[in-house]
Chain A
Amino acid sequence: MDRGVTATPVRTKEIDKVAEAHSPLAQFEIKRLVPIQIGDLDASFTNSALFMVFTVVLVTIFLVLGMRRNALVPGRWQSMAELSYIFIANMVRDTAGPEGRRFFPFIFTLFMFVLVGNMLGMVPYGFAYTSHIIVTFSIALIIFIGVTVVGFAKHGIRFFGFFLPPGTPLLMAPLAVPIEIISYLSRPVSLSVRLFANMLAGHTLIKVFAGFIVSMGVFGFVPFAFVFALTGLELLIAFLQAYVFTVLTCLYLHDALHMH
């Protein structure tokens, strides 16, 4: 700031702009909008929570108002709503099997929540709550616990057989079982880290290149082109990661329902 005061007005503006864009990580900062304190628990309404509310409202509007007309020949909006339904319904049927249909509402909610969350992160001044490991890990943990409960509810005690793949010699069991258990426990970790890392890396990269636009002056069009291309790529990744997240959930559900 001191340097800005001593420099020429034009220079000041530039430095301010650079200073404003100083940290590519500033966009992930959690801000308390409405501080709420319950005992020792900080339950403040943050910008992250705000965007989750946005997501829920947007998805609800998209689906409820889109299907309000409920026309036999759908308009554009209704088509989009129906297309998202068909997309997830096919995914659940193909990946989790016919028994997975019962879990369609959960899978659909999950997909819309992650997808719209990713997309809201692409809106200027938006906040991508999926770029926070605590959010993705919480979702992954809910999935993990839910899928395990489903497995035990369906197969009872035989679900433990999941940890000893068929055809394993009994002599190998002391080695194979811990490996299988670790492999099983690593699912929520890999599921959450994949989504979070993709979103975090993408947004940081865009911000870093965007910072170069100002500091490179006339040649700023080079990083601008990068940002332009990266934004397109990020939109693809936002969709792809929501898709992968949902497909893997279906896959875990399939494993719990059918045990391989």
Chain B
Amino acid sequence: MSAESPPEPDLEDLDSRLKQARDNIRGPFEKKEGNEPLRSAVGLAFRVTVELVSALAVGLGIGWVLDEWLGTRPWLMILFILLGGAAGMLNVYRLAMSSGGSRGNGDTGKDQGNR
């Protein structure tokens, strides 16, 4: 009896301390992203730009290659620039949805893991 009763509160105590330690370990990294509203806003703006432009560039590239290949210059290029623009919008839409809109913090793993 006397040997069995002490371990139980110890385990509970250990459990709560473990939980606290885990929260502490993960806390700093997750807080770090949110603590700089300006920096994340600039970062988000930059990400939006990159997403838009890269999708447009890929669309342009595909259109150009297909035009060269099929000899339909400039029609496929025009079509794929439009599609690339749409894809860029889609990327930005997804980025905005996953980051919770106006919070401007799209980089925490949890938020994005949900999509």
Contact = CB atoms under 8 A, between A and B. Distances in A.
Interface of A: 83, 86-87, 90-91, 94-97, 178-180, 182-183, 185-186, 189-190, 193-194, 197-198, 236, 240, 243-244, 247, 250-251, 254, 260
B112 A87 contact: no
Nearest to A201: B46
A94 B109 contact: yes
A178 B83 contact: yes
> How would you classify the secondary structure of chain B's contact residues: helix, strand, loop or mixed?
helix
A179 B90 contact: yes
B113 A95 contact: yes
Interface string B79-99: 010011011101100000000
B54 A186 contact: yes
The 4 closest A-B pairs by CB, nearest first: A189-B54, A182-B87, A95-B109, A190-B54
17 contacts: A90-B109, A94-B113, A178-B80, A179-B86, A179-B87, A180-B90, A182-B86, A183-B88, A183-B90, A186-B57, A194-B46, A197-B46, A236-B39, A240-B39, A243-B107, A244-B107, A247-B107
Given A182-B59, A194-B47, A194-B50, A90 B91 contact: no
Contacts of A189: 54-55, 57-58
B31 interface: no
B87 A251 contact: no
A90 B108 CA distance: 11
A132 B15 CA distance: 48
Residue of A178, A182, A193 with highest tally of chain B CB at under 10 A: A182
Interface residues on chain B, size class: 20 to 34
B112 A251 contact: yes
Contacts, number: 85
A90 B88 contact: no
Contacts of A185: 58, 62
B25 interface: yes
Interface in B1-56: 25-26, 29, 33, 39, 43, 46-47, 50-51, 53-55
Contacts of B43: 240, 244
Given A87-B29, A247-B112, A254-B113, A190 B51 contact: yes
A94 B110 CA distance: 6
Contacts of A180: 87, 90
A95 B46 CA distance: 22
A190 B48 CA distance: 10
Contacts of A96: 113
Given A90-B25, A91-B109, A183-B55, 8 more contacts: A178-B80, A179-B86, A180-B87, A182-B59, A240-B107, A243-B107, A244-B107, A260-B115
